[in-house]
Amino acid sequence: MTIAVFSDIHGNAMALEAVLNDINSRNIDLVFCGGDLVGYGAYPNEVIKLIRKYRIPTILGNYDEAVGFGKSDCGCAYTDPQMKEWGRISLEWTKKQVDLENRAFLRSLLGRIQFTACGKKVLIVHGSPRQINEYLYAERSEDSVLRLFDEEKVDIIICGHTHLPYTRIMGSKCLINAGSVGKPKDGDKRAAYTVIKLTESSLETEVIRVEYDVERMAQAIEVSGLPKEFAMALMNANS
């Protein structure tokens, strides 16, 4: 079985369209989205429209939760005061842009997706199984990560939220971060998603990078009224 998982689109409809086209060109059995459809990018409604059009099973991200439920904080754990202010501007802008129907759609998104494939129990979340906005970085201690597997009684956990793709195998357990479609933070401007190939006896993952017009998307952010720093971050693929 071959599974494609993408996450953290953040209002970047151009990147999402390129990723969906790439997925459609491959022999993929199942497709999932790890959430954070909106925030930071200029096209939140367009992203939601694409997800709805293709009926992709999607996890509720922390930004989706904030916009869908009209919260005053996106749960982004900013430590820098300037970034916190830019985040506030982004959230307020996005809440004004997303229409009522799409807000209702965000509220309908799933907290988690769990299924069995090739004898392996798979769990998809946005941040972590414990919290929607917990960051599971690749350097998290093995003991801490394995406790999550013990609590959930699964073999594979797939997450997003950090915008940094990785695969970490610990014995029979595997933690996968799908990366970010619309706001990468690993220095590669291309949209990223992860393909997982499963058999009864093996697991392989590949981070797929997809070209799209990053400069055009950055320009759209600049003219939207969002902080120009979001456009710069997109061009530099950093936080």
Task: Please report the beta strands in the chain, taking only residues with DSSP state E, as ranges in sequence order.
Answer: 2-6, 30-33, 113-117, 120-124, 156-159, 166-170, 173-177, 191-198, 203-210
pLDDT tens, residue by residue, 160-216: 999 999 999 999 999 999 999 999 999 999 999 999 999 999 999 999 999 999 999
**If we measure between CA atoms, which residue out of 221, 211, 148, 208 comes closest to residue 7?**
208
Please state, in angstroms and as integers, the Cα–Cα distance from residue 130 to each residue in 157, 159, 193, following that order: 12, 12, 23
Work out the average pLDDT over 131-146. 97
- pLDDT, the chain, mean: 97
Rounded Cα distance between 221 and 82, Å, is 18
- pLDDT-derived band at 86 (thresholds 50, 70, 90) equals very high
Q: Which two tokens stand for residue 56?
A: 């992709």
Whose structure tokens read 């479609």? Answer: 181
pLDDT tens, residue by residue, 25-73: 999 999 999 999 999 999 999 999 999 999 999 999 999 999 999 999 9
Spatial neighbors of 79 by CB under 8 A, at least 6 apart, are none
Long-range contacts made by residues 127-131, C-beta under 8 angstroms, separation at least 24?
127/62, 127/159, 127/160, 127/161, 128/159, 128/161, 129/157
Rounded Cα distance between 93 and 149, Å, is 38
Please state, in angstroms and as integers, the Cα–Cα distance from residue 2 to each residue in 24, 103, 122, following that order: 13, 31, 13
In this prediction the pTM is 0.97
